[in-house]
Structure 1
Amino acid sequence: MKAKWSKASSTVYYTPAEAKALEPIRETVEKRAELPDLRELFLCHAWADRLDDATKLYDLLKARNVSVWFSEKDIPLGSSFLREIDRGLAKSRVGIVLVTPALLTRLPTGGIADRELSALLATDQLVPVIHNTTYDALRMVSPLLASRNGLSTEEDSLEVVADKLAELVKTSRF
Structure 2
Amino acid sequence: MATRFNAAKFQREMRNAQRKAEQEVQRQVRAYNQEVDRVNRANQRKVDDHNRAAQRHNQQVVDRFNRQVASVNAANAKANAHNKATISRLNSQLRAGQSAQYTPAEQELAERVHTALLTQDEREYDTFLSYARIDGSDTGVELRDCLEELGVSVWFDEVAIVPGKSQALQMDKGLRKARCGIALLTPAYLTGRFWTERELGALLHKSTLIPVLHNVTFDEVAEYSGILPDLAGFETSRDAVAVIAQKIATAVLPSQE
Q: Is the 8 A contact 1:139 1:146 kept in 2?
A: no
1:93 is the counterpart of 2:93: no
Q: CA deviation at 1:16?
A: 2.4
Partner of 1:15: 103
Q: Give the alignment's TM-score, normalised by structure 1.
A: 0.85
Q: What amino acid is aligned across from residue 106 of structure 2 in structure 1?
A: E
Q: Deviations over 1:120-152 (max 9, x none)?
A: 012111011011211111112222237431111
Mark the CA change 1:8 to 1:140 in structure 2 (over 3 Å): closer, same or farther: closer
Q: Give the alignment's TM-score, normalised by structure 2.
A: 0.59
Partner of 1:44: 130
Between the aligned partners of 1:128 and 1:21, the Cα distance in structure 2 is: 9
Q: CA deviation at 1:10?
A: 4.7
Partner of 2:17: none
Q: What amino acid is aligned across from residue 197 of structure 2 in structure 1?
A: D
Q: What amino acid is aligned across from residue 68 of structure 1 in structure 2?
A: V
Give the length in aligned residue pairs.
Answer: 166
Between the aligned partners of 2:205 and 2:229, the Cα distance in structure 1 is: 14
Q: Is the 8 A contact 2:207 2:229 kept in 1?
A: no
Partner of 1:148: 231
1:157 is the counterpart of 2:240: yes
Q: What amino acid is aligned across from residue 56 of structure 1 in structure 2?
A: E
Between the aligned partners of 1:135 and 1:7, the Cα distance in structure 2 is: 26
Q: Of Structure 1 and Structure 2, which has the larger fraction of its residues in helix?
A: 2
Q: Secondary structure at the match of 1:162?
A: helix
1:62 is the counterpart of 2:148: yes
Instruction: Report the RMSD for the aligned CA atoms in angstroms.
Output: 2.3
Q: Is the 8 A contact 1:138 1:146 kept in 2?
A: no
Q: Is the 8 A contact 2:110 2:250 kept in 1?
A: no
1:122 is the counterpart of 2:205: yes
Mark the CA change 1:22 to 1:132 in structure 2 (over 3 Å): closer, same or farther: same
Q: CA deviation at 1:73?
A: 0.8
Partner of 2:251: 168
Q: CA deviation at 1:38?
A: 2.7
Q: Secondary structure at the match of 1:166?
A: helix
Q: Secondary structure at the match of 2:201?
A: helix
Partner of 2:18: none
Of 202, 214, 219, the residue aligned with 1:131 is 214
Between the aligned partners of 1:130 and 1:22, the Cα distance in structure 2 is: 15
Q: Deviations over 1:19-50 (max 9, x none)?
A: 12322211122111x42x33111101113145
Q: What amino acid is aligned across from residue 66 of structure 1 in structure 2?
A: V
Q: Secondary structure at the match of 1:159?
A: helix
Unaligned runs of 5+ in 1: 1-5
Deviates more, 1:49-58 or 1:150-159: 49-58
Deviates more, 1:123-132 or 1:48-57: 48-57
Q: Of Structure 1 and Structure 2, which has the larger fraction of its residues in strand?
A: 1
Deviates more, 1:127-136 or 1:137-146: 137-146
Unaligned runs of 5+ in 2: 1-93
Of 117, 133, 151, the residue aligned with 1:29 is 117
Q: CA deviation at 1:9?
A: 7.9
Q: CA deviation at 1:51?
A: 3.5
Of 195, 206, 214, the residue aligned with 1:112 is 195
Q: Is the 8 A contact 1:22 1:150 kept in 2?
A: no
